């Protein structure tokens, strides 16, 4: 059992003990708690810190730990109805980015989700990187608004394009980068073109910025340049959001012959492309194509990448790469938002990327994702032959599944929950009306690859 889980258990024991004490009563000493519960002094210290943060105990150095006085409850519930009028219609719609069904039960098999399971994360390398970063004498100094130069240089080299550190802005993960780019490039009421389907987090970020998502159809080779040109002409849009490599949710890779076309169409329209390259390190054994940024010579492409997906959810480090005034505009948005990304996190990212363990992790992750993807596809073919898997992708974390005609994807998701399996209903991935019923199934969110087949088996007849 980990130290953190042991301290949480001890905190629960102490909460029960506090129930029999009066405010001001002294708790047993640390030595007594160590002997009574057979735990380490570190565990006791952490448990007491948890209770202190909750306001349940007060620690007096040299005297001990005492039960705290319960906080006073308000005499009546405040009337906040006036806020509905004051806030007008500026609601932030998160329905696309969040599952409307709420979080699944802890015991459910996770065939939904956009992050690696803890067993696939480089936790030891991350912990070591954070520890080394914390020992740097300047770890808690203010970081530049644009980010540490050495980290910006690493991201610039990673694009394979003709860019340098001066063309990079460090962000607090990919979602933060999306929000910055959308607000910097377009204004409230402006259209933003998006592949259909697309990443729900991008839909939410665009709508929160006051933008109007406009769908552009895809086929097996990615977004269609002919329809993209039509959409630019009809809407007057000056912004396209797309995922050319291992697209979420379909897994599509934009065909080589289309990559230069897409950039040329946007350039002709006087528009920017926000290229979300979240999955560059999530390949299944094949090298990904060069980013659209490498096809761009005029500053059309704003490239977005992140370490969150291939590492861990809380490594909130990403980068926007762009040339020209648009980078200055995005840097200004970053400044007024929160000044800079915390320096310890940037230093930890530098330590991680510079360690031999990072490349080993990426190789092992690639092999495991390939195995899991095939296992999920095989289980679907065996148990659900009427369901259509559009493609077995060469990268990413998901399979995109079309259900038989007349199906209801939300109903499938609800019934799957009852069977103990979490799946993603497809309709929230579309900027407009979906053309059918789809499910997005994750193969990297479960603890074991064997859970994939079991989850699909339980989907056979969810009741």
The pLDDT tens digits along the chain (463 residues) read 355 567 888 888 898 888 888 888 998 998 899 999 988 988 998 899 888 888 888 988 888 899 888 776 666 777 777 777 777 766 777 666 666 666 777 788 899 989 999 999 999 999 999 999 999 999 899 999 999 999 999 999 999 999 999 999 999 999 999 999 999 999 999 999 999 999 999 999 999 999 999 999 999 999 999 999 999 999 999 999 999 999 999 999 999 999 999 999 999 999 999 999 999 999 998 888 999 999 898 999 999 999 999 999 999 999 999 999 999 999 999 899 889 999 999 999 999 999 989 999 999 999 999 999 999 999 999 999 999 998 899 999 999 999 999 899 999 888 988 888 999 999 999 998 888 899 999 999 999 888 999 999 988 654 4
294: which 2 tokens? 């490498």
The closest of 364, 306, 22 to 180, measured between CA atoms, is 306
Do 269 and 237 contact (CB within 8 A), yes or no? yes
Per-domain residue ranges of the chain:
3-67, 109-121+359-458, 124-355
Peptide bond into 432 cis (omega under 30): no
Q: Which fold has domain 124-355?
A: 3.40.640
How much is the pTM?
A: 0.84
CB 266 within 8 A of CB 272: yes
Please say whether the structural domain 3-67 has been given the CATH code 1.10.287.370.
no
> CA 335: distance to chain centroid?
22
Residue bearing tokens 């360690």: 355
Dihedral sign of CA atoms 403, 405, 409, 412 in order: negative
CA distance 430 to 437: 11
- Domain boundaries 109-121+359-458, CATH class: alpha beta
Distances in whole angstroms, Cα of residue 110 to Cα of each of 94, 105, 303, 450: 21, 10, 30, 12
CA-CA distance, 369 to 282, in Å (whole number)?
A: 8
């Amino acid at each position: 059992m980990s130290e953190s889980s042991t301290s949480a258990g001890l905190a629960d024991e102490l909460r029960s003990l506090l129930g029999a004490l009066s405010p001001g009563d002294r708790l047993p000493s640390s030595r007594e708690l160590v002997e009574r519960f057979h735990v380490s002094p570190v565990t006791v210290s952490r448990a007491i810190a948890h209770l202190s943060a909750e306001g349940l105990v007060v620690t007096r150095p040299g005297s001990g730990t005492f039960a705290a006085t319960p906080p006073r409850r308000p005499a009546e519930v405040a009337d906040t109805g006036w806020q509905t009028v004051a806030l007008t219609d500026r609601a932030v719609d998160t329905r696309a980015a969040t599952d409307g069904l709420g979080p699944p039960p802890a015991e459910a098999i996770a065939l939904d989700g956009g992050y690696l399971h803890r067993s696939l994360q480089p936790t030891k390398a991350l912990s070591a990187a954070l520890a080394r970063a914390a020992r740097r004498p300047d770890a808690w100094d203010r970081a530049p608004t644009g980010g540490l130069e050495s980290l910006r240089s690493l991201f610039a080299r990673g694009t394979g394009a003709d860019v340098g550190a001066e063309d990079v802005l460090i962000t607090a993960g990919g979602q933060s980068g999306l929000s910055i780019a959308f607000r910097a490039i377009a204004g409230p009421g402006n259209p933003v073109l998006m592949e259909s389907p697309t990443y729900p987090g991008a839909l939410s970020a665009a709508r929160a910025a006051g933008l109007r998502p406009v769908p552009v159809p895809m086929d097996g080779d990615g977004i269609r340049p002919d329809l993209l040109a039509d959409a630019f002409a009809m809407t007057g849009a000056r912004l396209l959001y797309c995922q050319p490599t291992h697209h979420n949710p379909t897994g599509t890779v934009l065909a080589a012959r289309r990559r230069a076309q897409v950039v040329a169409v946007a350039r002709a329209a006087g528009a920017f492309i926000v290229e979300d390259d979240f999955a560059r390190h999530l390949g299944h054994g094949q090298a990904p194509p060069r980013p659209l940024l490498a096809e761009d010579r005029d500053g059309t492409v704003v490239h977005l990448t992140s370490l969150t997906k291939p590492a861990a959810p809380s490594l909130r480090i990403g980068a926007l790469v762009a040339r020209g005034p648009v980078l200055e505009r995005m840097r200004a948005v970053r400044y007024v938002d929160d000044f800079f990304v915390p320096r310890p996190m940037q230093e930890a990212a530098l330590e991680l990327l510079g360690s031999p363990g990072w490349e080993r992790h990426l190789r092992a992750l690639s092999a495991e994702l390939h195995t899991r993807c095939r296992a999920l596809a095989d289980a679907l073919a065996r148990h659900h032959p009427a369901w259509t898997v559009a493609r077995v992708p060469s990268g990413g974390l998901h399979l995109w599944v079309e259900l038989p005609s007349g199906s209801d994807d939300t109903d499938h998701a609800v019934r799957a929950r009852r069977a103990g399996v979490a799946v993603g209903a497809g309709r929230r991935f579309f900027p407009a009306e979906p053309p059918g019923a789809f499910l997005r199934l994750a193969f990297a969110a479960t603890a074991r690859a064997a859970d994939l087949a079991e989850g699909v088996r339980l989907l056979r007849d969810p009741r």
